[in-house]
Structure 1
Amino acid sequence: MAVLVSNRLFDRLRRRAARSSLAAPLAALAALAVICAGGTAAWAQGWRVNLTPSLPGLLYRVVPIAEAQPGDYVEFCRPLPIGHLPDGPCPDGTARLLKRVIATAGDRVLFTPHDIAVYRGGQEPIVYRAPWQVRDSKGKPLPHPTWGAEILVTPGHVVVIGDHLMSLDSRYFGLVKGE
C-alpha cells in the first residue's frame, strides 16, 4: 500500500513538474501572439515604425494619399528607379518611402534649385528649403524633372518632401500618385 501511495504521489509530482516546465514557453507564446495581434492592428490603422535615418522619429502614422492633407505622412513605392533603398515589398523589390505631404489637389507648386513654393488659394506661398542635389549618396546622378516648373497638383496626387536634405522626394520624381 505504501508503494502504491508513493507511486501516485510521484506521478502527481511528475505531471505538475511537466505542466510547470511548459508554463514558461506557453506564456512566451501567448505574449508573442498578443504582440503580433497588436502589431497587425496598429499596421492596419496606419502606424509605421521608421528604423532609417530618413526621419527623426521612430513611430509615424500614415494616411492614404487620396485622404492626405499637408503635414500628413504617406507611404508609397518610388515612382522612378532612383536612389538606393533597402529591399522591400515594392514591385521593383525596394522598400516603401515614408514622406511628409506639402501639397495636395488644387495647390500650385513651383520647384526651384533651392526651394519648393506651394501656392494654396490666394495666400502667400509657403516656401520649403529644398536645395537640389546633383548626385545621390552613392554618386549616381539624380533626375530633375520638375526643375523650374510650376505644377498644378491634380486629384489623387500629392507633393512630398523629406525631413532631411538628402531625401528622395518630389524634387526628383514630381507628383506622387495614390496606389
Structure 2
Amino acid sequence: MTEQQRRSGVVLVVATAAAVLVMTAAHFGGYRINLTPSEPLGLWRIVPLVRPAAVNDLIFICPPETAEMREAKARGYLRFGLCPAGVAPLIKTVIARAGQYVEIGASVRVDGREVSSSGLAPRDGKGRPLAPFPSGTVPPGHVFLHSSFPGSYDSRYFGPLPVSGILGRAQEVLTYAR
C-alpha cells in the first residue's frame, strides 16, 4: 500500500466517522429528514408536545406494528426507520381526536364537515387495490391523521393511530416544496 492510498483510507474513515457522528447527533437532537412527498422534503425537527395533540397539529408519529402497517411496509409505503415497528415516523396532520366521528366515502368527513384534499384512491401507484378504513368514532387514546398529498397513505386507509406513538410536533427547518 502506498502512502497516498493509506492517507486516502484514513480520510475516508474520518469522513465516515464524522458523518455518522453528525447523523447520530441530529437524530438524538430531534432532527429528521423527510424524503416522502406527504409534506415538504427536507430537514424537520421534532418539537416536544407538552399538551394533548389537537386537531390541525402537524405531528411525527410512530405507527404501531399492526397487520395494516406490515402490509404497508411490504408494499413500500413506509420507509425503514427507528420506530419500534422498524419504520420511520410518519409526518401527518391530526384531523380528528377521540370521540369524533369520521365518515369515509368518496372523501373524508369529520363530524359532518368535509376535509379538503381527502379524496380516496381506489388503487396505489402500482395499480394495487387500496381499501378504505371503515367509518366510525375515533376510539379513546387515538388520533385520525391526514395529508393533503393525493397519494398519501394515512388514516383514510389504516385508521386511527394510538397517541402513545406521537413523538412531537413537526417543525420545518430547511425544506422545499413538494
- Normalised by the length of structure 1, the TM-score is 0.62
Distance 2:33 2:102 in 1: 32
Task: Find the counterpart in structure 2 of residue 167 from structure 1.
Answer: 152
* Structure 1 position 56 matched with structure 2 position 47: no
Say which SS state the counterpart of residue 137 (structure 1) adopts.
coil
Give the % identical residues: 23
Q: Which has the higher contact order (CA 8 A, sep 6+)?
A: 2
Q: Report the CA distance shift for 1:51/1:127 in structure 2 as closer, same or farther (over 3 A).
A: closer
* Paired residues of 1:75 and 1:99 also in contact (CA < 8 A): no
- Is there any run of 5+ residues in structure 1 with no aligned partner, and where? 1-16
Q: Report the CA distance shift for 1:99/1:114 in structure 2 as closer, same or farther (over 3 A).
A: farther
Residue correspondences, number: 154
Equivalent residue for 2:61, pick from 36, 61, 74: 74
Equivalent residue for 1:140, pick from 117, 128, 132: 128
Say which SS state the counterpart of residue 58 (structure 1) adopts.
strand
The superposition leaves residues 10-47 of structure 1 with CA deviations (integer Å, 9 ceiling, x where unpaired) of xxxxxxx96x8755543443332222112012112332
Task: Find the counterpart in structure 2 of residue 151 from structure 1.
Answer: 137
1:142 deviation in Å? 1.4
- Is there any run of 5+ residues in structure 2 with no aligned partner, and where? 166-178
Task: Find the counterpart in structure 1 of residue 119 from structure 2.
Answer: 131
* Paired residues of 1:75 and 1:98 also in contact (CA < 8 A): yes
Equivalent residue for 1:37, pick from 21, 34, 48: 21
Task: Find the counterpart in structure 1 of residue 30 from structure 2.
Answer: 46
Name the aligned partner's letter for residue 58 of structure 2: G
Task: Find the counterpart in structure 1 of residue 169 from structure 2.
Answer: none
The superposition leaves residues 98-146 of structure 1 with CA deviations (integer Å, 9 ceiling, x where unpaired) of 2313146446242332443446xxxx96833210111222222212223
1:89 deviation in Å? 5.8
- Normalised by the length of structure 2, the TM-score is 0.62
* Paired residues of 2:144 and 2:161 also in contact (CA < 8 A): yes
1:58 deviation in Å? 2.0
* Paired residues of 1:77 and 1:97 also in contact (CA < 8 A): no
